[in-house]
Structure 1
């Protein structure tokens, strides 16, 4: 059994149906195979909708704030339950990217003060991530047709997510739809956790 010497947080962000959840599931399975206690957060968009908040191209400042803060609560709960590694499905800047994309989709301009406040809130989480993955949109990969996705909005989210990362010089690893890229990301995550266990 391997136990990391400190709590490890690994986050992922990117537009929908680009493999975020699948990637974290693979990392989770590998880590559990090494005897590491893992918790994975997620389903924030669905839970926001269940709470009566708008999502996707209808995303607002309010739903953005809810998703960021609820994600923080989920992470804290995972730590309190004894997780050694927390896998964060939709790192805080993900919600910002979706909001910016929704505003662009609706041809609206974000109120400057609101934008700065929410960006500051998301930025408080950055120092906690030991590793951050950003999935890349590949429009040649078919998506689940049971979801009513707007291709233009999906593209906007991808653009805004990577623009946020670039503009703020946020360290991250890009993950494409290529199986080798996915496998490499899993390997990076597992090796990080195993390295911490040996320190």
Structure 2
């Protein structure tokens, strides 16, 4: 497969809705076809390691760090020759977490701050070939090793899908249903293989 620029496939969604698992399965299928794949991720954990707040404690600073670090990771993957870059937490994901954290805490940030972060995330939209947004299914049990706040998790899901819909951002919703997961994987793989032939 040869492309001038790598294909970028992003996934967004609240925590423990299958984002990483979905990308791992896409990666496995593409590697089986001989495609060079890079996968970004672990931005929340890396932000925390850098001393920044996360989850319901997100701030404008931690949101900006996650967006810009994600951009840097994508650029590094492309520079290292990846034909496909799989992005765990595309830019709007961080904005949704920020908005959810503010609502959770009952805070309202300055309008210009909110707009600045949204513009920053929006600059990345043209780079994504495909975007998948996972949908929260509260009937699916969460790993008990994670101390997740159910209300915050639900708020992230609400804010994410509201952002995508309000700005008419092209994306495919992915539910917890096996057919929905399989459809997303097939679409991603077929898109990459089709681009390889162009």
SS at match of 1:169: coil
Pair 1:5–1:73, CA change in 2 (3 A): closer
Task: Answer whether contact 1:9 1:87 (CA < 8 A) is retained.
Answer: yes
Relative distance call for 1:112 and 1:139 in structure 2 (3 A) is same
Deviation at 1:9, TM superposition (A): 0.2
Count of paired positions: 198
Cα offsets for 1:156-198 (capped at 9, x unmatched): 0000000000000000000000011000000000000010011
> 1-side partners of 2:109 and 2:155: how far apart?
15
Gaps of 5+ in 2: none
**Aligned counterpart, 1:159:** 158
CA distance in 2, matches of 1:166, 1:145: 32
The answer as to whether partners of 2:43 and 2:66 remain within 8 angstroms in 1 is yes
CA RMSD of aligned residues (A): 0.8
Q: Which runs of 5+ in 1 are unaligned?
A: none
Alignment check: 8 A CA contact 1:4 1:198 kept: no
Contact residue 5 and residue 196 of structure 1 kept, 8 A: no
Contact conserved, 2:5 with 2:78, CA < 8 A, in 1? no
**Alignment pair present for 1:198 and 2:197:** yes
Residue correspondence of structure 1 range 65-144 to structure 2 within 5 A: 65-144=64-143
Structure-2-length-normalised TM-score:
0.98
Give the distance between the partners of 1:8 and 1:61, measured in 2 at CA.
29
Contact 2:134 2:173 in 1 (8 A): yes
CA contact (8 A) 1:3 1:35 kept: no
